[in-house]
Amino acid sequence: MIDRPETEENAARPAPSCTLVLFGITGDLVHRLLMPALYNLARWKRLPVDFAIVGVSRSEISVEQLRNDLSQALQRYTAAKSEEAKLEAFEQNAWERVVHQLTYVSGHVDDPATYKTLLECLNKRKPDTGGNVLFYLAVAPQFFAPIVRRIGEAGLAREGQGAWRRIVIEKPFGRDLASAKALNRTTLQVFREDQIFRMDHFLGKETVQNILAFRFGNGLFEPLWNRDRIDHVQITVAETVGVERRGAFYDVTGALRDMVPNHLMQLFSMVAMEPPISFGADALRDKKQEVLMVVRPLLESAAADYAVRGQYEGGAVGGRAMQSYRKEPNVDPASRTETYAALRLEIDNWRWAGVPFYLRTGKAMRARSTEIAIRFKEAPLAIFCGTAVKQCVPNWLVLQIQPNEGISLQFGAKVPGPDLKLSAVKMGFLYKEYFNTSPSTGYETLIYDAMLGDATLFQRADNIEAGWRLIQPLLDAWADSQSILASYPAGSAGPCEAERLLARDGRAWRPT
């Protein structure tokens, strides 16, 4: 994990020399996030001193044209002034440190000739970069396995004379348990587990990394973190955006696959896991795995009892009209794909038995908010007998992942005056009030860690499969054309059916 450079001394810790091979260099992910992240790393002096980038893609463009496109994209992003800006004002020197390292291989990723050219390219850079290579698959998921195979056949995964070879694989890692297992098998035939970095970009978020720092770095909270004190947990990832230009991908994916076995499972396992013995990659991933293994299995036949799915209708989000999901470009007009998913999980261990975890995620929701909300058990009311207090104020501890990153604690306080009345009040911590963080994409830490060989913030093969195994019965249940698909207006809090999921347990979602 990067501690951002605030002093020159901090700044002088570049990653080891290497070549970064970016498959999909002309694509959206590289323009929007990876190049800006490399640029930020250059500004923070974290890029290797001896560094090269080799872009690979089908497009027949010159390296000058590619550099030009990437420069223009970066300048657009540095000029963007939104609250969520990921970059500071454009710094020519830092960008040149990135863009001047770039060479380009044009070729199809399933053509052995591409890898021959790539090998020549890597051999040329070997004296500078020590033969260390980080492959990064920023391509559509159907190309993951073919690229891995071709890398293997061309002998490019072989490590020699102290040099390392590693691979970063983007999300989605499979589309169900069987395909995730197959991709793990293919990848593990070519690379060892410690060479593979499976990406979940939520782990690059400071607020996600802070879940463990908060839980295990404070004497106050851990003793309360269990079924004795906690009533239930709500994990929400609500987005205001619709499917934007991703209709073709999204319509065969849906909210459950897109968000739950990966991003929501990360949040879930970090809240629910037992303390690891260290922040070492395997110590941490073992504990995440253990908690996923003791989640009570979901039953395909009982999906309606623990899960709700919905699709947005036309509506308005933040005052702007939004058309219904079925009218979005590249979406089947009769689509039954869910844009909202909610589910209830239970963990069968001593810490959590009897404490439900409610998870929900949706597109085109009223407000953008990713939060983990922990509701504590209520205090007994008897002492207030004969006063105006008819109910105690619920205690909520809320880890706000984004936006307005921070943590708040709600508790009851006496309303000043002669009568005894309670009111809900809040203590809050906001990152922006305490830390002078520079804007970032969240990918900086992940790229830097992969260059260092630190897999703490990446998914192990078994973690990936555990996420898919958990939701597979629900995927199967929802694949049935008779299964219920609720609807909700764009700009709302989701379908009413999701309210009922909690109402049945005598609980309610927090307002989004």
Contact pick of 171, 229, 326, 377 for ligand BG6 (by CB under 6 A): 171
- For residue 498, the minimal CB distance to ligand BG6 (Å) is 19
Nearer to ligand BG6, 395 or 441 (CB): 441
Decide: 286 and 476 in contact? Cβ < 8 Å.
no
Q: Is 108 in the site for ligand BG6 (CB under 6 A)?
A: no
Where do the H-state alpha helices sit in 413-460?
A: 431-434, 443-452
Under rule CB under 6 A, which residues in 232-291 are in contact with ligand BG6? 239, 258
Nearer to ligand BG6, 30 or 53 (CB): 30
Rounded CA-CA distance 236/320 in Å is 23
Nearer to ligand BG6, 105 or 364 (CB): 364
Tokens 């400071």 correspond to: 206
- For residue 423, the minimal CB distance to ligand BG6 (Å) is 33
Residue type, 211: I
Rounded CA-CA distance 276/321 in Å is 47
Bridge partners of residue 20, in order along the sequence:
53, 134
Q: Which residues are catalytic?
A: 263
Nearer to ligand BG6, 176 or 346 (CB): 176
- For residue 349, the minimal CB distance to ligand BG6 (Å) is 29
Decide: 267 and 401 in contact? Cβ < 8 Å.
yes
Nearer to ligand BG6, 234 or 262 (CB): 262
Decide: 24 and 137 in contact? Cβ < 8 Å.
yes
- For residue 171, the minimal CB distance to ligand BG6 (Å) is 5
* Residue 349: C-alpha distances to residues 260, 296, 299 (Å): 22, 10, 19
First and final C-alpha spacing in the chain: 30
DSSP 281-349: HHHHHHHHHHHHHTBPPP-GGGHHHHEEEEEEESEEETTEEE--GGGSTTS-TT----SEEEEEE-B-S
Nearer to ligand BG6, 258 or 444 (CB): 258
- For residue 8, the minimal CB distance to ligand BG6 (Å) is 31
- For residue 255, the minimal CB distance to ligand BG6 (Å) is 8
Rounded CA-CA distance 471/459 in Å is 17
Number of residues that bind ligand BG6 (CB under 6 A): 3
Nearer to ligand BG6, 349 or 402 (CB): 402
Tell me which residue has its CB nearest to ligand BG6. 258
Closest of 257, 344, 265 to residue 304, by C-alpha: 344
* Residue 375: C-alpha distances to residues 271, 272, 353, 500, 510 (Å): 13, 14, 15, 18, 10
Q: Is 328 in the site for ligand BG6 (CB under 6 A)?
A: no
Closest of 426, 418, 424, 417 to residue 398, by C-alpha: 426
- For residue 258, the minimal CB distance to ligand BG6 (Å) is 5
Nearer to ligand BG6, 236 or 324 (CB): 236
Buried b (16+ CB within 10 A) or exposed e, 392-418: ebbbbbbbbbbeebbbbbbbbeeeeee
Q: Please give the residue ranges that form the binding site for ligand BG6 (CB under 6 A).
A: 171, 239, 258
